[in-house]
């Protein structure tokens, strides 16, 4: 069964006292969980983190829902977490679906109005002939 997945990275961002964690979608993927996990692993293995600039040692771990890359720098270690998440809702898709539904309703009402107008015209024409 194909499902939609987000291949997510969470990593240390910034320097000094301004360090924080940021999350980004590496890729939207449609397929099985196993296929998505394999794709996520390929991302994790190929990933080169921004910090540390000169990593002396990196280790990639498998977790229950993805991977954890620990990169050792000269002063400290930095983490990059790769997670697999099933896509349940997308606000852009929901908005597009709502627009499409409104457009379809507007077209349906216009068709009903045109049909009623045509029926009225046919009725007047029948009375005029008859």
pLDDT tens-digit profile of 63-110? 988 999 998 877 777 889 999 999 999 898 878 878 888 888 888 888
Three-point CA angle 5, 10, 16, nearest 5°: 165
Burial class (CB in 10 A: 0-12, 13-18, 19+), 18: exposed
User: Please, what is the Cα angle at 16 between 15 and 22, to 5 degrees?
Assistant: 45
Q: How far is 67 from 35, CA to CA, in rounded Å? A: 15
In this predicted structure, what is the pLDDT of residue 1?
66
Q: State yes or no: pLDDT of 14 exceeds 80.
A: no
* pLDDT value of residue 93: 80
Q: Sorting pLDDT into bands at 50, 70 and 90, what band is 126?
A: confident
> How is residue 121 written in tokens?
């015209």
Residue 55: the pLDDT is: 67
Tokens of 106: 């507007």
Do the bridges between strand 3-13 and strand 77-86 make them parallel or antiparallel, or are there none, so unpaired?
antiparallel
Residue 113 DSSP symbol: H
């Amino acid at each position: 069964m194909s499902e939609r997945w987000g291949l997510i990275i969470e990593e240390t961002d910034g320097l000094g006292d301004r360090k924080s964690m940021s999350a980004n979608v590496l890729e939207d993927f449609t397929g099985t969980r196993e296929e998505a996990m394999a794709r996520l692993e390929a991302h994790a293995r190929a990933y080169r983190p921004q910090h540390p600039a000169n990593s002396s040692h990196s280790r990639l771990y498998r977790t229950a829902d993805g991977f954890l890359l620990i990169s050792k720098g000269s002063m400290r270690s930095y983490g990059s977490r790769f997670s697999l998440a099933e896509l349940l809702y997308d606000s852009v898709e929901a908005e597009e679906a709502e627009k499409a539904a409104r457009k379809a309703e507007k077209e349906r009402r216009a068709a009903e109005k045109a049909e009623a107008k045509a029926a009225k015209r046919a009725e007047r024409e029948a009375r005029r002939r008859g």
